[in-house]
Amino acid sequence: MRRFFPLLRVFSVLLIGFSFCLAVPMAVSWYVDDGAHSAFDEAFLVTLMCGLALFLATHRERREMKVRDGFLLVVLVWTLLPLFACLPFWLHLDISFTDAYFEAASGLTATGATVLSGLDHMPLSINFWRTFSHWIGGMGVVVLAVAILPLLGIGGRQMFRAETPGPMKETSLTPRIAETAKGLWVVYLILTLACGLTLWTLGMQPWDAAMHAFTTMGLGGFSSKDASLGHFNSVEIEIAVMGFALLSGMNYATHFLALRQRTLSPYRRDAEIPYFLGVLAISILALTFYLQALGVFGEFGTALRYVAFHTISLATSLGLTTADYGQWPFFAQLWMLFLGSFIACSGSTGGGIKMIRAMILYKQLYRELLLALHPNAIWPVRIRSAVVPQHVVAGVMAFGFIYMVTIVTLTLLMTASGMDIVTGFSAIVATLNNTGPGLGQVGPAATFAVLSDFQTWLCALAMLLGRLEIFTLLVVLIPAFWRK
């Protein structure tokens, strides 16, 4: 047990830090006096006490963490923090602990699948906490910690490696990991501020603007309104949200470089962006024409408005909605859901397998076909001018495989527990990709409240798997991890 003490010490520091995140909605609750502050008081105190107790028990262990400790820490953070984050929901709202945990996990993993309804009449602080957790989770609680933990003299690099999404983890932006993390957070902060101010000037109330900026930049999906973004019924707001969702779906490292060098050239050099924007543009146009041909919308402009918003929202794993696309032809719904599994760029706040992996998988497929024609050919998989080493390609293929296996397994478990296939499958895909709304009974007009407790836990698991890119969670489950 002692070997976990250094790890637990780091976790305790994180937990104390997280308790102050809870203090933000608590302050909001006190300020607007919405009647929910007792729940936040208790949640804050419980989290702080747990953190302090753990810290006191373990603070004497000042050993450097190992890589495998990093993996375990990340898993602990993502599974245990929702436990504390869900306290306000559980204490204040009339819902089961399962639903509360689901809601908190959905918030921190920036998924946006909700079990709550009647949002319009909820206390402001509850909605604020839901979207604020998106924002914290969007960039990763751990990356935030990386900016602070090195100051405490505990290994940051291991954690960063386990956390950052995408296969090419070796590229460092700055020599020091803490500098990198800080830089990324500054970019995140600037973009969020810009998003919030834009929404405010476009006519949102200040609180709504803040909450929707959080949800947009974290690519979460919670809204303070039952009708989601459709509540505002404003083309300008939709365009602004689309724009910031696209920015957030790109690699933050690219934003960081562009900001530091004050040029746009990093965007031109980014290998993912052309595919990211290209696939989206083609999908939007194709779906618009498809829906127009089927006569779903009267005017082309209206069709384009709704298709563009939902395609971008679902593909980037944002998950805000402006209309009930559950009424659209099934093909369109499925396509948008499917896009969410690979569109977001690596290093973004989006979900799915990430564009870079999709590109590598595609190029590897092409390579195999080419080798069938030219057995002697040497055809490396390349991203821009860089050759992707074969061991990385193999890792990506394993990742793609485990991603499919996860979907199939969890879908099977959903149907085994009595769920229909459309709802079961789409709920798993939507949560594994951290998108949010699914199809059928969990479609845009409904909530995840229809799920049984078992199914809710399955979806919560899918969210965590998706956010941790599956491998991180699986690695701590294999016996070799626990051997000395």
Partner 1 sequence: MKILILGAGQVGASVAEALASEANDITIVDQNREFLAALADRLDVRTVTGNAAYPNVLREAGIEDTDLLIAVTQSDQTNLVACKIARSLFNVSTRIARLRSPDLIEPGLLSNENFAVDYAICPEQDITDYIVKLVEFPEALQVLEFANGKVTLVGVRAKPDGLLVGKPIRTMREHLPAGVDARIAAIFREHQPIEPDGNTVIEPGDEVFLLAASRHIRPVLKELRRGREPVKRVMIAGGGNIGLRVAQALEDRYEIKIVEFDRRRAELIAGKLAHALVLSGSATDENLLAQENIDEIDMFLALTNDDEDNIMAASLAKRLGCRRVLALINRRAYADMVQGGPIDIGISPAQVSIGALLTHVRRGDVVKVHSLRRGAAEALELVAHGDKNSSKVVGRRIEELPKIHGAHIGAIVRTGKQAEAVLRDGIVDYQRIERVIIPHHDTVIESDDHVVVFCVRKREVAQVEKLFQVGFQFI
Kindly state the tokens that stand for 17: 């830090």
Minimum distance, C-beta of residue 465 to partner 1, in the bound complex (Å): 34
Please enumerate in sequence order all residues whose Cβ is within 8 A of that of 243, keeping only pairs 6 or more positions apart, or say none: none
Q: Which residues of the chain form contacts with partner 1 (CB under 8 A)?
A: 370, 374-380, 382, 385, 387
Please enumerate in sequence order all residues whose Cβ is within 8 A of that of 102, keeping only pairs 6 or more positions apart, or say none: 113, 115, 448, 456, 457, 459, 460
Q: Is residue 167 a contact partner of residue 395, using CB atoms and an 8 Å limit? A: yes
Nearest to 344 by CA among 476, 434, 468, 261: 434
Judged by CB, which is closer to partner 1: 377, or 408? 377
Judged by CB, which is closer to partner 1: 374, or 483? 374
Judged by CB, which is closer to partner 1: 278, or 380? 380
Nearest to 350 by CA among 272, 229, 228, 251: 251
CA atoms of 104 and 220, how far apart (whole Å)? 12
Q: What distances in angstroms separate CA 241 from CA 49, 76, 196, one per listed residue?
A: 38, 33, 10
CA atoms of 174 and 184, how far apart (whole Å)? 11
Q: What angle do CA 470, 472, 476 make, to 5 degrees?
A: 115
Minimum distance, C-beta of residue 376 to partner 1, in the bound complex (Å): 4
Minimum distance, C-beta of residue 380 to partner 1, in the bound complex (Å): 5
Judged by CB, which is closer to partner 1: 387, or 404? 387
Kindly state the tokens that stand for 344: 């977001």
CA atoms of 344 and 338, how far apart (whole Å)? 12
Minimum distance, C-beta of residue 388 to partner 1, in the bound complex (Å): 10
CA atoms of 31 and 8, how far apart (whole Å)? 34
Q: What distances in angstroms separate CA 242 from CA 44, 280, 418, one per listed residue?
A: 34, 12, 37
Minimum distance, C-beta of residue 471 to partner 1, in the bound complex (Å): 27
CA atoms of 119 and 226, how far apart (whole Å)? 5
| Helix segments in 165-234, DSSP class H | 177-201, 206-217
Minimum distance, C-beta of residue 385 to partner 1, in the bound complex (Å): 8
Judged by CB, which is closer to partner 1: 59, or 269? 269
Please enumerate in sequence order all residues whose Cβ is within 8 A of that of 22, keeping only pairs 6 or more positions apart, or say none: 40, 43, 44, 47, 84, 85, 88, 129
Judged by CB, which is closer to partner 1: 1, or 376? 376
Q: Is residue 245 a contact partner of residue 192, using CB atoms and an 8 Å limit? A: no
Judged by CB, which is closer to partner 1: 282, or 386? 386
DSSP string across 446-465:
S-GGGS-HHHHHHHHHHHHH
* 20 DSSP assignment: H
